Amino acid sequence: MTDTKEFTLFIDKLIAKNYPFALWSMPGSNTPEILVADKEKIVYPAHFNKLNGQEGFVFAPYQINKIAPLVILKPGTYKKGINEILKIDCKNIPEKQVTEVQSAAPFIISHNEYLKDIDNTISEIKNTKLAKVIISRLIPFTRKFESIGEVYLQLFQQTPNAFVYLVNLPANGSDLVKAGLWMGATPEVLLRSEGKTLETVSLAGTQSRRDDSDYSWHTKEIEEQAFVSRYLLDVFYKFNIHPYTTQGPETLESGKVAHLATSFRFAAKKMEANLGDFLAELHPTPAVCGYPKSKAAKFIPKIEKHDRRYYSGYLGPWRLNGDLGLFVNLRCMEILPQQYILYSGGGITARSVPEDEWEETNKKATTLLSAIETVQNR
């Protein structure tokens, strides 16, 4: 990779200017892409199904609310590749005034409180028709004086099989809508195009990555993944999507962990007119919510004491240059002035063991933490 030092400096300058942008790379690609957008080219649709006819970069929350709007960066300055990105002259980008939006302090759950919550969740599953529910927590990590550009580059280099991103959506002037500064590396495809084909992926189950790639999966993990696959097929039926092809279940390695994944592919022309409606039905999948979805969605706010904001939402290019590449926002963190807030969750079923679930959320955080610590320890 060339000009990496200049590239990290460019990212830091862009953040310092408080300018809205999205920087990302597709799984398996060593070519980052960027969209820099004027404030006037940012729209905030009120509903997930309002994406029909739009184009740009989508940054979607788990649920749309005042502190987590659905955001579309409309096409502005778009560049692909580090050398092309460095042709953008930061001197010509005006510095944006920022109105500080005071948000509530993030809720950090203790180990014991988390174990009690998981116990209660397991009891709910055993005594109702709820089969699986995703429970998340926040993990804080102290910021020092490291370059955010260097952290992004480290994450980009160490997770080549993930969608790696850095999104900055500050509050500008009198506009108090603020998504904030977010970074992540997610392996989970929500919906992407490959020529005349669309693909969505059922992904669930987690274990530490093995050097020998010799994985074995337990009943709980296989069941978790099957719930997601079953839900996707229900959505296919509702939209009359057939025929389709499947590949999997198979192991997908990403960063420090591995997952079970099944790919579903179908003709893109099936969804040309109402892709936004299809996406609104797809999100959130049981991989980030639970199964049955309606019961899990009602149960989650009874347990979680934080707002998920953009964790378990989705993001990526939406009909940008004709391409579609949306990914579920897992392995993500919000970057605050003095700390990183990592979001991590796990699928709870009747077979769950609370202490194991705590450890799983820690495992999932290692992808981001290793990138931060590598830069901090230089």
Give DSSP secondary structure letters for 126-164. Answer: HHSS--EEEEEEEEEEE--S--HHHHHHHHHHH-TTSEE
Please tell me the predicted confidence (pLDDT) of residue 50: 87
Q: Residue 235: is its pLDDT beyond 90?
A: yes
Q: What percent of the chain has pLDDT over 70?
A: 95
- More reliable by pLDDT, 147 or 194: 147
Please tell me the predicted confidence (pLDDT) of residue 289: 93
State the helix-helix crossing angle for 354-376 and 111-127, rounded to 10 degrees. Answer: 140
- Give the global pTM: 0.91
Please tell me the predicted confidence (pLDDT) of residue 98: 57
Beta bridge partner(s), residue 60 = 314
Distance between CA 76 and CA 17 in Å, rounded?
17
Is 4-376 assigned to CATH 3.60.120.10?
yes
Q: Which of 260, 30, 250 is nearest to 158 (CA)?
A: 30
Q: What band does 41 get if pLDDT is binned at 50, 70 and 90? A: confident
Q: Residue 265: is its pLDDT beyond 80?
A: yes
- More reliable by pLDDT, 176 or 11: 11
When pLDDT is averaged across residues 5-24 and rounded to a whole number, the result is 93
- What average pLDDT does the chain have? 89
Please tell me the predicted confidence (pLDDT) of residue 254: 72
Q: Residue 184: is its pLDDT beyond 90?
A: yes
Please tell me the predicted confidence (pLDDT) of residue 99: 56
Q: What band does 74 get if pLDDT is binned at 50, 70 and 90? A: very high
Q: What band does 97 get if pLDDT is binned at 50, 70 and 90? A: low
- More reliable by pLDDT, 126 or 291: 126
Please tell me the predicted confidence (pLDDT) of residue 96: 66
Alpha-carbon dihedral of residues 220, 226, 228, 230, nearest 10 degrees? -150
Please tell me the predicted confidence (pLDDT) of residue 146: 96
